[in-house]
Amino acid sequence: MEASGYTDHISRRFNKDIEELRNKVLAMGGLVEAQLSKAVSAIVSGDSELGLKVANDDYRVNNLEVSIDEECGRILATRSPAASDLRLIVAIIKTITDLERIGDEAEKIGYLAAKLAVMDRPPDSYSELKTLGNHVSHMLRDAMNAFARLDINDAYDVAAEDDRVDEEYEALTRQCITFMMEDPRSIKRVMNVTWVARSLERIGDHAKNICEYVIYMVQGKDVRHTAYSESSDLSPDAD
């Protein structure tokens, strides 16, 4: 596709390789997004079968990671890319690691969903987890959209969203502690809830990382461990 600016190479084969690589990463992103939303709905609907299915399907994410990694290595070795191509490959190698971690967290949530399904269910059927889960799913989707569109404004927005996820996680943890103090019998169940919340919060962090790779890929600028308010003041076009 012409819009990305990664396709103006003399070698058409190289264009095609890079394009296929991008498509594969986005397909992996789609798979991970689907895994996450299934895991969250398994928690909310108490569907242990769905939870276990999510956990069992994680191998597909892992397989994709391995094959994309190999492909990246092959391109690095045979094409010796430079400048924006090199940044793209480097960003992809990092992105798939984070996607794979998100897949692992979704797997964990799937197992926990199967565990929670057989325990007592609260009357609100984990609506806080649902809110947090939807929030994080949204973040992940927007992060992958920013990757597809190479849109750094979106990337900055999504990365900033992580603070809100952290706040939500804080509040949820506090609530869980209160539950456990009130009724020690619920500790076993509520512990699982905190584990799910923890996984969701981690997924938010991974989505934020992906956004940082997008910024690196487009601008060539490393914004990790910096306050976004400073770095986003710079013109987005500075390259």
Give the interface with other proteins as residue ranges (CB under 8 A): 1-3, 22-23, 26-27, 29-31, 33-34, 37, 47, 49-50, 53, 134, 138, 141, 144-145, 148-149, 151
Residue 37 or 192: the one with the smaller Cβ distance to other proteins is 37
Q: Which is nearer to other proteins, 29 or 204 (CB)?
A: 29
Contact present, 164 and 135 (Cβ < 8 Å): yes
Min. distance of Cβ 150 from other proteins in angstroms?
9
Instruction: Give Cα 90 distance to the centre of its chain.
Output: 17
DSSP characters for 69-91?
Answer: HHHHHHHHHHH---HHHHHHHHH
Angle, to 10 degrees, between the axis of helix 152-182 and the axis of helix 187-219?
170
Closest to other proteins by CB, 25 vs 176, is: 25
As measured in angstroms, the least distance from the Cβ of 123 to other proteins is 14
Q: Shortest distance, CB of residue 227 to other proteins, whole angstroms?
A: 28
| Residue tagged 């969250």 (tokens) | 40
By C-beta, is 89 or 176 nearer to other proteins? 89
Q: Which two tokens stand for residue 213?
A: 């790779």
Q: Report the amino acid identity of residue 186.
A: S
Q: Please state the closest distance from residue 41 (CB atom) to other proteins, in A.
A: 9
